[in-house]
Amino acid sequence: MTDKAFLDGYRSPGVFTGLDGFEDQIDALPAEVGAVAAFVHGLLIHEGLAAAYGVTLAPGRFDEKQIHGTTALLRQAMRLHDRPITEPRAPEHRVVGVCRHFAVLFAAVMRRKGFPPASAAASPTISSRASTSTTGSASTGTGIAGCWWTARSTTCSASSST
C-alpha cells in the first residue's frame, strides 16, 4: 500500500464517524478548528458537567452516553431539539455524552472538512499535551471540553469551561 493510499484511508469516514444525512449541514460549517469546537460544544453536554451548567438531567437522559456513532448522535440532537444541528442548543437540549462523544464528533467533522487525524508521535506539541500512554496514537491535537482524543484513549480534565 502506498503512503497516499494509506493516508486516504484516514480521510474516509469509519464506522463511528459517518455523517449520513447530515453532510449538507456539516458542509455549511466553517472549516476552522474553533468553529468546529463551538459546534460540538453547542450540541453535546458532558454527563459530569451538567450541574455546572445548571441542568438537572432526567435519569433516562444518562442513557444517551451509550450512543455510538456520529450519525446516531446527530439524530438524537434532532430528537431533543428539532432545529438544524448547526444551531447551538441550550444546555438542557444537548445530547448527554462523555469525552469520547466530543472527540469522535469533532474528529468526524474535521475529517469531513479535509483534516484527517494527525499522528501524536509525529508532533511533539500534540505528544506533550496528550498523556504519555498515547504516544504513537492518532490524535486530533485539539482539546475539546478538556479532552484529548487518541485512537487508544481519551484523556479528560474537568478544569475546562464551556
Contacts of 123 (CB under 8 A, 6+ apart): 139, 141
> Does the pTM exceed 0.75?
no
Task: Measure Cα distances from 162 to 7, 22, 23, 43, 146 in Å.
Answer: 33, 24, 25, 12, 9
How far out from the chain centre does Cα 10 lie? Answer: 16
Rounded mean pLDDT of 91-120? Answer: 86
Q: Mean pLDDT for the chain?
A: 77
Q: Which stretch of DSSP H or E encloses residue 115? A: none
The alpha carbons of the chain give a radius of gyration, in whole angstroms, of 16
Q: What is the pLDDT of residue 133?
A: 34
Q: Which residue has the higher pLDDT, 39 or 158?
A: 39
Q: What is the pLDDT of residue 16?
A: 82
Q: What is the pLDDT of residue 116?
A: 67
* Cα–Cα distance measured from residue 105 to residue 74, given in angstroms and rounded to the nearest whole number: 9
Count Cα neighbours of 16 within 13 Å in the Cβ-side half-sphere. 13
Query: Domain segments of the chain: what residues?
Result: 16-156
Q: How confident is residue 97, by pLDDT bands cut at 50, 70 and 90? A: very high
* Cα–Cα distance measured from residue 67 to residue 105, given in angstroms and rounded to the nearest whole number: 12
Name the least confident of 8-12, 48-52, 101-105, 128-132.
128-132
